[in-house]
Structure 1
Amino acid sequence: MSNSDASAILTTADLSEAIRAVRTLLDMADIRQGEVDFEALIRSPDVLEHVCDVLPDLEWSASAGKEDGSSEAGDNPADCLPIRVFDWGRPLDRAEPFIAALGPDPAAVRWDLDAWLAVPEAGLEEISQKYAYLTLSVNSRDLYQSEPSQDHTVHVHARNRNGDQIARVHWLADQVGGRFTGRVERAPL
């Protein structure tokens, strides 16, 4: 298992602004074989219903622990609320419907990219799949939903052997009208 550094580049109360930023950043990445991963804390039956419409075979466990219910055990998630979602490797087109289904519940949606593309005019080389990720924290400021908030934060993960991580983070932030806040979280991948 490896780790990545997730740098916060945009925090906004406007979810549509955060989604526009994500779309802009995805346009700067190689996403041909990309996937999306979901982590969330679902507390309400209404949100659960909407999320299950988007991801019918949702992977989850009871917030109190797997012994109190899980998809693995075939339990009914509605009987186990609140639940934690850890659902990985979904098609990219599931991301925005999942975000729309969340209502006020916190989540992290991570796009696993094939690469951050080279930007020769900025002196940035391509960054391989191993370090090319993008995360949107919805209704939370952090990757793990431990800082619930009414705003949303876009994080970029970028690292390569030549050490242009900070230059890449600043460049990506500039492209979406954000700025690197200096806040970096360690993200297990």
Structure 2
Amino acid sequence: MSNSRAAAILTTADLAEAMRAVRTLLDIADLEGAVVDFEATIRSPDVADRIRQLLPDLSWWAQAGKEHGSSECGDDPAACVPITVHDWDHSLASAEPLIAALGPDSAAVRWDLNGWPEVPTAGLGLITRKYAYLTLSVNSRDLYQDEPSPDHTVHVHVRGDQDTARVEWLAAQVGSRFSGRVEIAPL
């Protein structure tokens, strides 16, 4: 197993601003074969119902433990909140409806990209699929919803410390700058 480094490049209370940044970064990325992964901590029955309407085969379990409810047992997630959701390999078009359905609950929506482009003028080579990810932490400042907050953070994933120039370049593309916050993200 390898890890990427998820660098926070924008934190804002304005979800629309965060989504504009995500769309800009998606326009830069190579999206061939890209998919969306979804991890969330859902605390509201209404949110659980909305997410389940979008993802009928949602993979989830009760935070109190699977014996208190899970998708494996065919339980109703709305009756088991709070729940943890880990659902993978969805179409790119699924991301925005999922984000809109979250309300105040926190999630990490990750776009698994085919690559970040070569930028010769900035001295940046091509980065391929293994380290090309983009994550929007909704109602949280971190990838794992350990820091719930009223704002949202855009993270770009790269190989390691040697890719600071790429992080700074990507941040500049959305009118922001690298915050210095980095998390290790198991892939």
TM-score normalised to structure 1 length: 0.96
- 2:120 equivalent in structure 1: 120
Residues 70-104 of structure 1 show CA distances to partners (whole Å, capped at 9, x for unaligned) of 11121111221110100011111100000000000
Residues 15-58 of structure 1 show CA distances to partners (whole Å, capped at 9, x for unaligned) of 00000000000111111100100000111111111111211111
Q: 1:168 to 1:29 in 2, by over 3 A?
A: same
TM-score normalised to structure 2 length: 0.97
Contact 2:41 2:85 in 1 (8 A): yes
Indicate the percent of aligned positions where both proteins have the same amino acid: 70
Note the residue ranges of structure 1 that are not aligned, 5 or more in a row. Answer: none
Note the residue ranges of structure 2 that are not aligned, 5 or more in a row. Answer: none
Report the alpha carbon displacement of residue 66 of structure 1 after superposing the two structures with TM.
Answer: 1.7
Q: Does 1:77 align with 2:58?
A: no
Two-structure CA RMSD over aligned residues (Å): 1.1
In 2, Cα distance between the equivalents of 1:142 and 1:134?
13
What is the letter of the counterpart of residue 153 of structure 1? T
Report the alpha carbon displacement of residue 67 of structure 1 after superposing the two structures with TM.
Answer: 2.2
Report the alpha carbon displacement of residue 127 of structure 1 after superposing the two structures with TM.
Answer: 0.2
In 2, Cα distance between the equivalents of 1:66 and 1:37?
21
User: Which aligned pairs between 1:17-96 and structure 2 lie closer than 5 A?
Assistant: 17-96=17-96
- 2:6 equivalent in structure 1: 6
What is the letter of the counterpart of residue 115 of structure 2? A
Residues 117-147 of structure 1 show CA distances to partners (whole Å, capped at 9, x for unaligned) of 1111211111010000000000000000010
Report the alpha carbon displacement of residue 164 of structure 1 after superposing the two structures with TM.
Answer: 4.5
- 1:171 equivalent in structure 2: 169
What is the letter of the counterpart of residue 183 of structure 1? R
The SS at the match of 1:27 is: helix
In 2, Cα distance between the equivalents of 1:75 and 1:56?
12
In 1, Cα distance between the equivalents of 2:121 and 2:162?
14
- 1:188 equivalent in structure 2: 186
- Corresponding pairs, count: 187
In 1, Cα distance between the equivalents of 2:63 and 2:3?
24
Structure 1: which 4+ aligned runs deviate by more than 4 Å?
Answer: none
